[in-house]
Structure 1
Amino acid sequence: MVAQQRSKISVIGTGYLGATHAACMAELGFEVLGLDVDTVKIDSLSSGRVPFYEPGLEEVLSRNLANGRLRFTTDYREVAEFADVHFICVGTPQRADSNAADLTYVNAAIDALAPLLDRPAVVIGKSTVPVGTAAVAAARIADLAPAGAQVELGWSPEFLREGFGVEDTLRPNRIVIGAAPGSQRVEAAMREVSRQQIEQGIPFLVTDLQTAELVKVSANAFLATKISFINAMAEVSEVAGADVIKLAKALSYDDRIGGKFLGPGLGFGGGCLPKDIRAFMARADELGVEPALSFLREVDAINQRRRARTIDIARGLIGGSFAGRTVAVLGAAFKPNSDDIRDSPALDVASTISSLGAAVTVYDPEALENARRAHPDLGYAHSMLEAVRDAEVVLLLTEWAEFRDADPDELAKMVRERKIVDGRNALDPEHWRARGWTYRALGRP
């Protein structure tokens, strides 16, 4: 298909997923209109500012605003008139009253868009949703859209890693599209949108709607299980006197297991894995197959125990009590190369230690402002050296390169006591011990 005949694309929801998807679709040569009901977010994106930290995204955004392929709006009618393919990229947070996913934003997007669709169009969901959501959404669209059956719904889960969102959108490791039986437009639309990736040999899988919905939550459940497995081995290693890092390395040589996501430490957080495995369990319960996912309760519990164990190690290093002590925490984001603090293990640990009477100072290269808004009770520093000043114990809780490469001699000049808890197993224990530091880490002697 020649460029002039390409479908026009809308992206509904301009949070992390939506803003990244909109900018990258424009980068692939499509005309894209992004929509959000948050005018502050739209104003920021329209002026070329990404309202969160994601390496490389601001350059892609600015380039495609300048060349005219990308723009933003708050008007659903404009979106309906403009686009042939509509991507739903709104959030599905955990509900306040249960572990289930909150579909408020998905339902609101469909209810606002569908009544305006008076010509053939395709709606593609990318939000992570409980299995069965797409079928209900398809029926809702058919009921509300003036074009009726000429509007088809598909579901194409996203697999973005924060910190690598641009790369993962432009060059994903697979593309999955779910469509209802007899659907004609959905697969054709996704093949057009994904043509460049397909030509590069990236796998393109067509499934039913339910299978597509399960792919993302199944992947996250598997990754969470692998992380919690090695952290369970860390618990055993600590008691047995073994070294979980060497254990993980030995396991990684088995190509049935591999080394990815086999890094023991403080555990996972963020806006995906924790809420997705809880929502998966809740949906299994609704479907009457709760025992099939009961193991995920222990996966979640192991992950939470790592936070408590980190606190216990730090408390032991300073004599058994945090009351009146000075503590430095390096890291606030749930992972490096992100400013996302949702369910951040680092901030959870920092806040708990503060509640136990310590004066806690936090430093993070990108997440300070988000952390300050969420936890105004904590102290904050604008550099690593400032954060560790007079600290009686230092906790490394997000493995930014700045922290991995820290000079123990430089930090020693600032701290009151040379004691460090490596919550991410990011440092060389022998190097730090040789420089006079008392070094402790999860799962290591």
Structure 2
Amino acid sequence: MLAVLSGCTGGPTNASDEEQKEYILTQLNDYQGLIEIYRNKLSVKDNDDERYYLSQLYNKIGDYSSSNIYLAPLVEKKGSKEYLLLKTQNLLELGKENEAQAILNEMLAHDDSNGELWNLQGILLAQTGDYLKATLSFEKARGLFYDEEVVVNNLAMMAILQGDYITARNYLLPLYSRKEYKPQTAYNLAYALVKSDDYESAKKIIIDDKLSTSQPDALIASLAKLSPREHFKIEGQKNDVAVTASTSVGLNQNKPLTIPVSDMQNNIKSDDSSQLVNSGISQNCTFDKSISDAVLPFAGEIPHAKLIANVTSASISGGDRIALYSAYPLNYSVMPKRYDNIVEIEIFNAQPMKRIYDSLLANIQKRQNIKKIEIMNNGNGNSKLQIVTNKCITTKNVSRLSVNGQYKEKMIVDINY
């Protein structure tokens, strides 16, 4: 559902309370609230359009299994193109490439001039590691006038995954220079520039586009450490969310710029993809006792964010462990220390699912040394995980692990007192 701006009205004036509520939720991109409304509507009277919209809403919040469950009757009854496209997108997100390929083969056999189909074909090939054929599919989609920014970002990602950062940069620079683009374009360009050793231009983009509220050099260090596969993100759908650059950025397209190694050394992660920090305290301890115990629900919505699906806690020798789970890689940067009882981590392009809130409260109750665990919207396309303890922290270790089962990614925060 697209929100169209008009110069003379701010919304429905003669609508029912339910219609007004739906209008407000749509403007706020509150998909969970809209899901509740449409589930109630469909429980009274089922109809194809509202069922399809409900399936789209589940897709937007990352619940691809539920999206396909509610979509199934429509696919079986009609098998319309839009239904099959949504089913294919869900299957790709669920890692069911063989099922998705069967649908794409059938659709392309009937309509090989559809740019969206070729973009999905490129995504499927990329997920299976065939980057050369994926690139050809994305080029085909571009030639068929599918959403240019989506396709060009995907082409740039294929170059990144093959280590060709200069080509990726050259794909993305024209998009960035237009001043209206998606947050992912700026992030991909910053990554390509860092990997091309053009730190000065990357830093300007990070500052201008507010990609990180922490020190930009810390994000540069994290991006420098990040492997292409960890950065991997390709786009399957058009995105009506754009950001406008505050200023133009002057990039040297011929010669990479460098910054002194000494400026980077303090920020680069260790080779095991973790950040180990010693607070260095002995008898002295900077302790913030004034911070509120209140844990607030996550505010707002981050467009096309990776979803944090679960949080757990456990006791470890001399401390506590907090773990976040997701179906996608969680890229992060440990933020500079403010107090010896606070850990803050910026998680890039990610946000928690609504149900996480209850898990946060439950885990706080389990851990006597944990005062607060909260995931906040940083307002820059990223989230901030804040952990506040009742004891002084001597060391903290943040790491990532691949896991089997429902979640593919686990981010672990180990705290010792």
Bigger fraction of residues in strand: 2
Point out the structure with max Rg over C-alpha: 1
Using structure 2 for the length normalisation, give the TM-score: 0.32
Using structure 1 for the length normalisation, give the TM-score: 0.31
